[in-house]
Copies of this chain bind each other. A is one copy, B any other.
Amino acid sequence: VSAAARTRARRGEGERLREEIIDAAERLLVSTGDEDAVSIRAIAQAVGVTPPSIYLHFADKESLVWAVCGRQFEIFDGILEAADATTDDPVEALRRRGEAYARFGLEHPEAYRIMFMGRSMSVDRHLDTLDKSGGTAFTHHLAAVQRAADAGALRAGVEPLQAAIFLWAGMHGITSLLISLASFPWPERDQLLRDMCELQLRALVEEAP
């Protein structure tokens, strides 16, 4: 990926570079697939600018990575909300959210890695970014479970928060295992994901009479 022809921003339009940097970092992150493989130098080259220019807009590399993550979280949340909105049945909505969750992870494994499989230290240092975007996504997830609870679909004794975490953990589990242990002899993937959702919901919803 070589340098694009880039014209210097006009006076007062310095913020333009910030967006270009995030775009380039996002592309590199997705294509190379490794946070460590995406260097300041590589990003600068992709934008068509010298490395020090990055520091005009980001305090350090970590801040840049998290700016990218913030965006990924918004996309992620958008996808799940969209999947949710395709049905009126709150239990079916949970299933569709779950499948969309896994699909996002498998289609954007590197973003997913940083968002949900990173080292907590770096996560801790950027809680504000995470709160805004990741927090929103979790709030939406919890709201979806609450709708199922309000519809009387959950078993007696199952708390919405507990159910929300259970669903999250299960879908995160299968998604991250598929990402990390790609060479494990998994059964057919689509069927596997459907089964996961199915079994998870069976634990939560009232048995059909």
Q: How far is the CA of A152 from the CA of B125 in the complex (A)?
A: 49
Residue count of chain A within 8 Å CB distance of chain B: 41
A2 at the interface (CB under 8 A from B): no
- Of the candidate stretches A20-28, A77-85, A162-170, the one touching chain B is A162-170
Q: How far is the CA of A171 from the CA of B166 in the complex (A)?
A: 10
Q: How far is the CA of A127 from the CA of B34 in the complex (A)?
A: 21
Asked if residues B181 and A116 are in contact (CB atoms below 8 Å), the reply is yes
Which residue of chain B has the shortest Cβ distance to A33 in the bound complex?
A: B119
- Of the candidate stretches A11-19, A56-64, A89-97, A197-205, the one touching chain B is A197-205
Q: How far is the CA of A158 from the CA of B200 in the complex (A)?
A: 13
From 157 to 209 in chain A, residues with beta carbon under 8 angstroms from any chain B beta carbon are 158, 161-163, 165-166, 168-174, 176-177, 179-183, 186-187, 192, 195-196, 199-200, 202-204, 207
- A residues with CB within 8 A of B: 34, 36, 116-120, 123-124, 127, 158, 161-163, 165-166, 168-174, 176-177, 179-183, 186-187, 192, 195-196, 199-200, 202-204, 207
Q: List 13 A-B contacts (CB under 8 A).
A: A116-B177, A119-B180, A124-B183, A158-B199, A165-B187, A168-B177, A169-B170, A173-B173, A173-B174, A173-B176, A199-B204, A202-B202, A207-B207
* Additional 16 contacts, C-beta under 8 A, given A36-B36, A172-B173, A199-B204: A117-B176, A120-B179, A120-B182, A123-B181, A124-B183, A127-B183, A158-B199, A165-B174, A165-B192, A168-B173, A169-B174, A169-B196, A172-B177, A173-B176, A200-B203, A207-B207
